[in-house]
Amino acid sequence: MSKLSLAEKKCLQRDRPFHELFRGQYVLSQDAGRHYPGWTKTSLGNWTIHHGPALPRYSILDASGQILGHLLGLAWQPPADIIKGPVTLPFLANDPDLWTRVQRFVSDLGGRYMVLVSVGRRARLYGDPVLDLPIVYDPTEKQIASSLGLVLDRPIQKNDAQGMRSVLSGRENLCFQNTLDQQAKRLISNHYLDLNSFRMRRYWPTDDIDFDKGPEAVDASVAGLCETLAGITGALVQNYDCALPVTGGRDSRIMLGSLLPHKHLVREYLCHRFHNASRMDVALAREVLQSVDLELRQYSRINVSHQMLKDMRLKMGWSGTRRELLASAIIDTYPRDHLLLRGNIMEILRANQWRSDKLEDPFHIVHAIRRLGPSKNLGARTAARIWRQDYLRWRKSLPEGARNKLYDFGFIEFMLPNSQGPYISAYHNCNMINPFNDRRLIQVGLELPQAQRISRSVVEKVIGTYHAPFLDIPFN
């Protein structure tokens, strides 16, 4: 009998349908004979990709048609070409610069994906810019998956560095590759995993990127950002059945503005009300949509059962908690298999990791680690003492030109992969995508001066570029 993953065992114990709950997740292993209920599989070299039906897979070919690898998930190439079939790269498998050219191809991709490339005896695994499709791995068992319960074939072995209770209660955030298991690790985004040595290595950003443009570059940067984002969102709604959540916030107004030329292609504009505070969101969302002749569909509160919370934690790989889990029962009723366009990652346009009164101050490691949130229940200075060396090792991996944006990179490479990616992956009924999950957009966002970002000047310029009347409607 085939071995069972911890996730499968939990589903059997609780009489939960693995094939439904994990239809959007994957496992990468060297066991080609393994079977996961409801999943398909394909092999390349020594590796087999097992994946659910909600996660598409496309072959990556060299110029002669030889298979170099596979792309799992949803991705696009510049400027906004959605990948919906095999991808042919303009070089051969024996190209002496093969891996440099592969990394350039992966760096240019946007979306929510992972890429496996295997040529000869070498194999590497790459992820999307913020690991919205998670990559968790056990270097001892040489197994990789989208969540911890799929990586492990055994019970969790306690990780003394970060405790289960404090992580699941939100008293601290997982960070620095930690999972709740002492052996399993989470890949850091913008690094590839060498599948021979199971060591990771950074491939983005490159040394030649300048992340320190002055205020005089803001207008041109915003114009380029708006054009790129509109191209991506337009391509998505032209290729998929899409729904757009709309609130009283700025990010959803940016998303809506970018879609205005294709607004009637969006299947549903929606907002959910699950507590009193969201009542204002619903009212403002309706006003915003009515101003451009669109209708809002409101979803009302549904109580989240204990069983659903356990399901969500299992699918997230016990990676932590989010206030949004209170809305998970509502989100589970959204149109099945629609693409839900989210406005995450755009927080960098507001310099959300910086303090407005400390913009010109030297780098402060206590603040940096406090923002990431490991051991935050112990206090900022104690947490900084505990995690200082881990942070400094990570900082050393960044090129010199990126180190003036350390707070931002911590958000992109630790906070989002540990919270957002697992949360998005846990929704099996609909597929969530962040159009801003593109290194071109992230680079432009980080190049902009902190002062213009934190003052919301950048965000208002973006909204004004798309549809200036949106600025006349209050924000929540």
Predicted confidence at residue 28, as pLDDT, reads 97
Predicted confidence at residue 375, as pLDDT, reads 84
Which residues 6+ apart lie within 8 Å of 68 measured at CB?
Answer: 60, 61, 62, 89, 93, 102, 117, 118, 119
At 276, the pLDDT band (50, 70, 90 cuts) reads low
**Looking at the predicted structure, is the pLDDT value of residue 273 above 80?**
no
Predicted confidence at residue 366, as pLDDT, reads 94
Predicted confidence at residue 275, as pLDDT, reads 67
Per-residue pLDDT, averaged over 99-104, amounts to 96
Per-residue pLDDT, averaged over 322-350, amounts to 90
Predicted confidence at residue 360, as pLDDT, reads 86
**pLDDT tens by residue, 375-402:** 888 888 999 999 999 999 999 999 999 9
**pLDDT tens by residue, 284-304:** 999 999 999 999 999 888 888
- Would the pTM of this model clear 0.85, i.e. be above it? yes
Map out the domains of the chain with their CATH numbers.
6-202 (3.60.20), 215-348+417-472 (3.40.50.620)
Predicted confidence at residue 301, as pLDDT, reads 83
Per-residue pLDDT, averaged over 406-432, amounts to 94
Per-residue pLDDT, averaged over 438-452, amounts to 95
Residue 158 phi/psi, 5° resolution?
-50, 130
**Looking at the predicted structure, is the pLDDT value of residue 235 above 60?**
yes
**Looking at the predicted structure, is the pLDDT value of residue 78 above 90?**
yes
Predicted confidence at residue 1, as pLDDT, reads 52
Predicted confidence at residue 188, as pLDDT, reads 97
**pLDDT tens by residue, 167-184:** 988 888 999 999 999 999
Predicted confidence at residue 181, as pLDDT, reads 96
Query: Sheet of 268-273: strands edge to edge?
Result: 297-300, 268-273, 242-245, 339-341, 431-433
**Looking at the predicted structure, is the pLDDT value of residue 263 above 90?**
yes
Whole-number average pLDDT of the chain:
94
Predicted confidence at residue 322, as pLDDT, reads 79
Predicted confidence at residue 330, as pLDDT, reads 87
Per-residue pLDDT, averaged over 99-126, amounts to 97
Predicted confidence at residue 379, as pLDDT, reads 87
Per-residue pLDDT, averaged over 252-278, amounts to 90
Predicted confidence at residue 388, as pLDDT, reads 94
At 463, the pLDDT band (50, 70, 90 cuts) reads very high
**pLDDT tens by residue, 181-214:** 999 999 999 999 999 999 999 999 999 998 888 8
**What percent of the chain is modeled with pLDDT above 90?**
83
Per-residue pLDDT, averaged over 448-461, amounts to 94
Predicted confidence at residue 302, as pLDDT, reads 85
